[in-house]
Structure 1
Amino acid sequence: MAKAAEYRLPTTRPHVMGILNVTPDSFSDGGRFNAADAALAHARTMIADGADILDIGGESTRPGSEPVALDEEWARLDPVLDDVIDLGVPVSIDTYKAEIARRACAAGAVIVNDVWGLQKDPAMAGVVADAGVHVVMMHNRLDVDADLDILSDIDRFFETSMRLADDAGIAKDRQILDPGFGFGKTLDQNFRILNRFDTLKKHGLPLLAGASRKRMVGAIVDGTAGDRLHGSLAAHLIALFKGAVVVRTHDVGPHADSVRMLEATLLERVPV
């Protein structure tokens, strides 16, 4: 089990983060893995397929989803979290609730993946700092505004998130940024972010890309969420080529293979 005080996200190579939803209503795989045995089996499969990190969540954040009470979110996570952590791969907890993050980090999670970038729950930054874990600070919006300069909005949001992290004492080498594909954005804005993904490197932090099976992919390749592998893979490879360090995906095996090819090409060596 990776300990928070010891774990550092290596930024010299790309990482595949496998999605483990223990929710009944995820947009892509809702209900498939919310039973503890099924979730644990899926976690093992993702590890075998090459996952570097497992991201486990007990509340769907898809557009239009209903908020879940803290006790309900924990009731979904508690039966499986310890067993997933014991598998030995670094575990990320996907939550914007500080108390859920605190419990998960106490159990051994080494990353908090906050879809509101420390700006939803005022206690979150302190919890992350106290636990000594990494944090993914994702850009989000309540409303979609087609006239918005989305890249400038992301910059402003990230500056606030980074200030909150710094003020709480979260070390710079524990901070990760995610532009939040599909969260409060139009289709055009999502593709503008992908096209200009390299500009996000100016913030000086590792970048995560999470376009897996999202509607921006479906708008181009058509098909249901489960049919969007190839489009998701293309989006993530573009993001990796433009500077992403982590890609968050439902489809670990194909991503792990593609990342190895990209790594061998960009680094001009065969990874060992």
Structure 2
Amino acid sequence: MAKIMGILNITPDSFSDGGLYANTDLALTQAKRLITDGADLVDVGAESTKPGANAISPTEEWERMSEFWQGVVDSDLLDISHFSLDTRNPSTAEQFLKLGGKIINDVSGFQDPEMIVLAAEYQATCVVNHFPGKSVGEVHEQKISSISQVTEDLLARAKQMIGQGVDRNKIILDPGIGFGKTPELNWALLAFAAQTPEFEVLIGHSKKRFLGEDRFGKEVNLAAAKRAIETGAAYLRVHEPAWYR
């Protein structure tokens, strides 16, 4: 069975929850609920990557989440090692790692060399997302249709990271469903784990547009997850962990 990574967006403009968890107390309560509902990990992000989202500075990103992370550290019920940080900024990643964090989920696919240096220094687990561009706007203008391009790009990044000291067993590949791909390729990428059996694969399909008009419903999300699991996905990144238990 794939491990479940619950999604927690500490943003005012999330597509899934509309900024509900920008409040620290509510965010901490939601983190506990995700774990109670069956999440093995909780992935926390403070910058939206939906189409049309505005980029924020690393300073603003950390300001949005620093109080939350302190709450996790101070909690008797939460363990920071069960959390991952969704960020593309090295300074944000470093502050998280200094607090004891272990997992970095870099939506930009570790394009910034400093992120690779940090990952090697702290021996962090790295979720490497396929992100065909330098910015969210640029990525969402792409219409990649080739699964081989996604595979080649991710394997090249993994090779680079290993060459710079990242433990290959701590690299998790994410084919970046919804990031600059055609709808047809997004469906095909549910089975991406079959392309890279030498690495663990995370699939992030939850409530994304390629699922169609019923994308917020349980049935279509579970059908997508079934395809991912059958083809070897090790992790599912989802909004509703209870659906998958």
Alpha-carbon offset, residue 174 of structure 1: 0.7
Partner of 1:188: 184
Distance 1:139 1:245 in 2: 17
> Using the alignment, how far apart are the partners of 1:124 and 1:61 within structure 2?
18
Q: What percent of counterpart residues are identical?
A: 34
Quick check: 1:43–1:84 contact (8 Å CA) kept in 2?
A: no
| Alpha-carbon shift at residue 198 of structure 1 (Å) | 4.1
Quick one: which of 160, 166, 171 aligns to 2:167?
Answer: 171
Report the equivalent of 2:135. none
CA contact (8 A) 1:213 1:229 kept: no
Report if aligned partners of 1:21, 1:30 keep a CA contact under 8 Å in 2: no
1:143 is displaced (CA, Å) by 5.3
Report deviation, 1:62.
1.2
Give secondary structure in 2 for the equivalent of 1:24: coil
In the other structure, the counterpart of 2:209 is 215
User: Do the aligned partners of 1:14 and 1:240 also contact (CA within 8 Å) in 2?
Assistant: yes
Give the match for residue 241 of structure 2: 252
For 2:168 and 2:6, the matched residues in 1 are separated by: 24
Moved over 6 A (4+): none
Spell out, residue by residue over 1:87-117, the C-alpha distance to the aligned partner (whole angstroms, 9 max, x if none).
0261100001111111111112211001121
Is there any run of 5+ residues in structure 1 with no aligned partner, and where? 1-12, 258-272
Whether the aligned pair in 2 keeps the contact of 1:201 and 1:243 (CA below 8 Å) is no
1:115 — aligned with what? 107
Question: TM-score w.r.t. structure 2 length?
Answer: 0.90
Does residue 45 of the first structure (1) align with residue 33 of the second (2)? yes
SS at match of 2:196: helix
Q: Pick closer, same or farther for the CA change 1:103–1:145 going to 2, 3 Å.
A: closer
Structure 2 unaligned blocks of 5 or more = 133-138
Q: 1:30 to 1:128 in 2, by over 3 A?
A: farther
Q: 2:151 aligns with which of 138, 150, 155?
A: 155
User: If the length of structure 1 is used for normalisation, what is the TM-score?
Assistant: 0.82
- How far off is 1:52 after superposition? 0.4
Q: Name the residue aligned to 1:10.
A: none
> Cα deviations across residues 215-262 of structure 1 (Å, max 9, x unaligned)?
011x1xx24x6x33321222112101111000000101111x1xxxxx
8 Å CA contact 1:128, 1:170 repeated in 2:
yes
Equivalent position SS for 1:20? strand
SS in 2 for 1:33: helix
CA distance in 1, matches of 2:238, 2:72: 17
1:135 paired with 2:110, answer: no
Quote the RMSD (CA, aligned, Å).
1.6
The answer to whether the 8 Å contact 1:210/1:236 transfers is no
